[in-house]
Structure 1
Amino acid sequence: MDQPDPTALPVARPSEVALDAAGVTAFLDAVEATDDLELHSLALVRHGRVCAQGWWDPYVPDDKTLLYSLSKSFTSTALGFAVAEGRLALTDRVVDRLAPRGEVGSRTAALTLADLAAMATGHHADTLERANAADPDDLARGFLTLEPESDPGSVFAYNNPSTHTLGAVVQEVTGQTLTDYLRPRLFEPLGVEPGWWDQHPEGRDIGFTGFHLTTGALARFGQLYLADGAYAGHQVLPEGWAGLALAEHTPNPAEPNPDWRQGYGFQFWRGRHGTVRGDGAFGQFVVLMPEQDAVLVLTGATENMQGVLDAAWAHLLPAFDRPASATAEAELADRLDRSALVTDRGLRAAASSDLEVLGVEETADGWLLRLAEDGRELGVEVGREVWRRSDVAVADGWGALVAARGHLEGADGSGTLVADLVLVESPHRLRVRTGPGGSEVVWHTAPLGHGRLRRLATPRR
């Protein structure tokens, strides 16, 4: 008999934590009524108990999805442990911890770890392309060749190499990847098995993106920070780190969206209504709501992340401490149980993929779709009107978990195959059309910086 997980968050009905389920349903209605918003999972925690959760078919609870920049909050957490253990100090100069390639300017020489964590390096814009060009083999050392335009600590700029360099310093002084360093300190106390963290160069977790976790793991992480670093009766984070990381360190009033100009902490965004969050591209959110003692976790695929938060503020916030009804509770539970992707949405501005369609073979319950990327043939099992999963070997030792569903256009069933391929370890999916008139492969949302399956793959060990 399986033993209960002592680290699992307890579950409650919404009414048991003074939440009106109708507000959650209204939030879902608002998202689904907006063509450019899409959810893949939701978890809502109040008073330390999960009161609403759901996954949009074909996503399931065990899927570890690509977090994009939500990864940054985990890099910050690693910094907190390294500081508490005396390995690092926030006032340490970066160049004293990570030797640059050569002479650096006075502003680069003055950069501290706190400047990196607070996105206050003095650069006026993201330096990712320039840092990569300066040193394609070592992004951190490429970053250190780029003299800031202003003094460190004086200006905010969301700067991916800043986080990468911070993570590189932690990995340099610990002799471990971020994942391995955090495993006994963070993941094991939370009962979480971490997913893959993309690396560059090989052996160094990239820090600013590339980490993969389940929705449930994100809920535990959010609850940990909401509770000032305590979890399941134990102090997991160093005393005081949560408050320090979530506090405002860098004002950012020039950011265009209201929930992105409330100030920046140590790899956490300050938001409206007293909220703080980690977030990642296409709608990966861990939102802390201290005034409501709640955590909202969302994964999805949208380029309108402000729209997701607007819907949450409009419908979820008023639902706290509002009288609830059993009918609304039952309706929400049924709604979440039936949640499924609507794959025709959001394809109007789809981006083309470089995937080549080699052919289609009919099977007993669907099709085998034969694709090619960079000269490598890939086979994807496509279910007939139902989702089928296959682990697609996109390179030696690397796979992409794909859920695929399709149908034939045309009254006689002999026309074009239309197949949706959901890469369930990421926010992304593809629409494939192939038939007598030719083939087309497009992204619903194209992955940042590339459009290749290989870049979305994770190791198969």
Structure 2
Amino acid sequence: MRAASLLAFVILLPSFAGASDLPRSRPEDQGVSTAALLGFVEAANRIETMNSVMVFRHGQIVAEGWWAPYSAETPHSLYSLSKSFTSTAVGLAISEGKLSLDDPILKFFPEDAPTNPGPNLKAMRISDLLRMSTGHQTEPQRTKDEPWTKSFLAHPVPFKPGTHFLYNTSATYMLSAIVQKVTGQRVLDYLTPRLFEPLGIEHPTWEQSPQGVDAGGYGLSIRTEDIAKFGQLLLQKGKWHGKQLVPAEWIEAATARQTSNGSSPTSDWDQGYGYQFWRCRHGAFRGDGAFGQYCVVLPEQDAVVAITSGVKDMQAVLNVVWEKLLPAFRTDAQPRDDDAYGKLASALKGLHVEYPQGTGKPANVAGRMFAFDANPMKLESLSIQADERGDTLVIRAAGKEGRIRAGHGDWTTGPAAIGPMSALSGGKSDWLVGAASAWTADETLTVKACFIETPFIATFRLKFSGDEVRLNASNNVGFGATRAPELVGKAEHKP
């Protein structure tokens, strides 16, 4: 493995302070036990699959890193962690006199309202959207067939707003649409001078609805460092470098328990809900997104933890934070333990997403093209181009050709012109991919591709036999199926 790739996860010493505008410190100087922090890293490394982590203590970054091929420079999709940023936009609009918590929803979209709206819909307010207490029994759908605001307002509201908690991404979309309505700007553009630019969050992007409204409940992409900055802003009650960016009163209300959502003492999804923020155990609160995107704020410990990951069990990630990281925070500065620190640094340098390994006999497939019948992945053909450093998977799908360059025993990162797992991971093209490959069995090539702007990791297992290849493809996580049906390709013979 090349040395550069070993630096996948690094504890930042003061000499690294030029890496960004955030202050860095050794853990011990901020009252963080190096030995306990090592235990946290080791436990996190056993979770499949972590992408990144950053830890603030007393306003200093004491640990940060990325599991290769994920990197500090690459933005990562936040999924529902986006909701907390939409909440912040609402709070700012309220502070500027453009909104009120008690404003009825129908007032903003009279053109999309039903002819005879029921009493519960009439009673629905902005505060109900924020608390996920809209009165819906099921979440309104968002399709291409009609405006999402109209679909929302047409959906049955069987409960009195404010009395029934239902996690509801469409409610967050309505908040985004309302902010755009009253400001004349997308939430992304509205937040740029008020939040993103002051925090040094560069080039954020946000997915939009067909009507040109930011999705609100998902779709924001920023770097791990940016998540940590947002968390530190929340911890500091909206103040950044001496300037009040967000009213402290809003942050206090948004992160407080505004509604009950369960009673389990062991679940971080049963501790209450604020205004697009979750309450946690141990006096903490968080924004979070699908597959393990976290901004965890621990006021009692004066700490922030930012995490991106691609996991099936999101509670498992928080359990490691509580069981391993929480005990690392001490009241006073700790004696410097250079031996423990050296062990920690050594452990961190080797962290990476597990890549395929094997010593199987390679198949003789150089220059051979394998064609596929019509299939859900829209895969038309594939071939393998190999050299001593790795394999290039050449794919033709939906009429376009793309290449995934995969290293041997290491990750190779580059653009992929098409998203070959479009049937499982959303159909986006022009991915940035880190890939590795190995002949994991005789005539069986395994290619693992990390779509590093997302939590998705695709694994392709190609079993060659004579003029045939059997392709089995899967994703690590997904909202639905994570495994595609087996496809059989036939070698094309030149005339």
CA–CA distance in 2 between the matches of 1:296 and 1:373? 40
Residues 154 and 255 of structure 1, relative CA distance in 2, 3 Å threshold: farther
Question: Hey, what does 1:335 align to over in structure 2?
Answer: 347
Question: Hey, what does 1:455 align to over in structure 2?
Answer: none
Question: Hey, what does 1:42 align to over in structure 2?
Answer: 53
Local SS of the residue matching 1:258? coil
- Paired AA for residue 394 in structure 1: I
Contact 1:136 1:142 in 2 (8 A): no
String of CA shifts for 1:205-230, please: whole Å, max 9, x gaps.
Answer: 11111111100011100000010001
CA–CA distance in 1 between the matches of 2:93 and 2:236? 20
Question: Hey, what does 2:9 align to over in structure 1?
Answer: none
CA–CA distance in 2 between the matches of 1:359 and 1:293? 53
Residues 450 and 170 of structure 1, relative CA distance in 2, 3 Å threshold: farther
Q: CA deviation at 1:313?
A: 0.8
In structure 2, stretches of 5+ residues that fail to align are: 1-16, 358-374, 420-426, 484-495
Residues 171 and 439 of structure 1, relative CA distance in 2, 3 Å threshold: farther
CA–CA distance in 1 between the matches of 2:312 and 2:441? 33
Give 1:80's match in structure 2, choosing from 91, 102, 113. Answer: 91
Moved more, 276-285 or 187-196: 187-196
Which residues in structure 2 correspond to 1:236-385 (within 5 Å)? 236-253=245-262, 258-321=267-330, 323=334, 325-343=337-355, 354=377, 356=379, 358-363=382-387, 365-385=389-409
Contact 1:389 1:402 in 2 (8 A): yes
- Paired AA for residue 56 in structure 2: V
Give 2:129's match in structure 1, choosing from 111, 116, 124. Answer: 116
Residues 288 and 182 of structure 1, relative CA distance in 2, 3 Å threshold: same
Instruction: Answer yes or no: is 1:404 the counterpart of 2:435.
Output: yes
Residues 98 and 183 of structure 1, relative CA distance in 2, 3 Å threshold: same
Give 1:132's match in structure 2, choosing from 138, 142, 158. Answer: 142
Which residues in structure 2 correspond to 1:413-428 (within 5 Å)? 415-428=443-456
Residues 293 and 82 of structure 1, relative CA distance in 2, 3 Å threshold: same
CA–CA distance in 2 between the matches of 1:400 and 1:6? 26
Instruction: Answer yes or no: is 1:429 the counterpart of 2:442.
Output: no
- Following superposition, which runs of at least 4 residues in structure 1 exceed 6 angstroms of deviation? 4-7
Instruction: Answer yes or no: is 1:27 the counterpart of 2:40.
Output: yes
- Paired AA for residue 244 in structure 2: Q
Moved more, 21-30 or 175-184: 21-30
Q: CA deviation at 1:388?
A: 1.6
Residues 202 and 416 of structure 1, relative CA distance in 2, 3 Å threshold: farther
Q: Name which one, 1 or 2, has greater alpha-carbon Rg.
A: 2
Question: Hey, what does 1:224 align to over in structure 2?
Answer: 233
Q: CA deviation at 1:147?
A: 2.4
Residues 432 and 254 of structure 1, relative CA distance in 2, 3 Å threshold: same
CA–CA distance in 2 between the matches of 1:83 and 1:263? 23
Residues 180 and 290 of structure 1, relative CA distance in 2, 3 Å threshold: same
Moved more, 100-109 or 52-61: 100-109
CA–CA distance in 2 between the matches of 1:221 and 1:355? 40
Contact 1:353 1:451 in 2 (8 A): no
TM-score by length of 2: 0.82
Local SS of the residue matching 1:218? helix
CA–CA distance in 2 between the matches of 1:376 and 1:111? 47
Contact 1:7 1:232 in 2 (8 A): no
Q: CA deviation at 1:308?
A: 1.1
Contact 1:107 1:147 in 2 (8 A): no
Contact 1:170 1:178 in 2 (8 A): yes
Contact 1:250 1:264 in 2 (8 A): yes
TM-score by length of 1: 0.88
Contact 1:215 1:298 in 2 (8 A): yes
Contact 2:55 2:305 in 1 (8 A): yes
Contact 1:53 1:336 in 2 (8 A): no
Moved more, 384-393 or 254-263: 254-263
Question: Hey, what does 1:458 align to over in structure 2?
Answer: none
Q: CA deviation at 1:202?
A: 4.7
Residues 102 and 256 of structure 1, relative CA distance in 2, 3 Å threshold: farther
Instruction: Answer yes or no: is 1:54 the counterpart of 2:65.
Output: yes
Residues 382 and 7 of structure 1, relative CA distance in 2, 3 Å threshold: closer
Instruction: Answer yes or no: is 1:151 the counterpart of 2:150.
Output: no
Aligned residues: 435
- Paired AA for residue 308 in structure 2: T
In structure 1, stretches of 5+ residues that fail to align are: 346-351, 453-461
- Paired AA for residue 431 in structure 1: T
Local SS of the residue matching 2:417? strand
CA–CA distance in 2 between the matches of 1:239 and 1:259? 24
Identity of matched residues, %: 36
String of CA shifts for 1:69-114, please: whole Å, max 9, x gaps.
Answer: 1010111011111111111111111110123242222111111111
Moved more, 369-378 or 262-271: 369-378
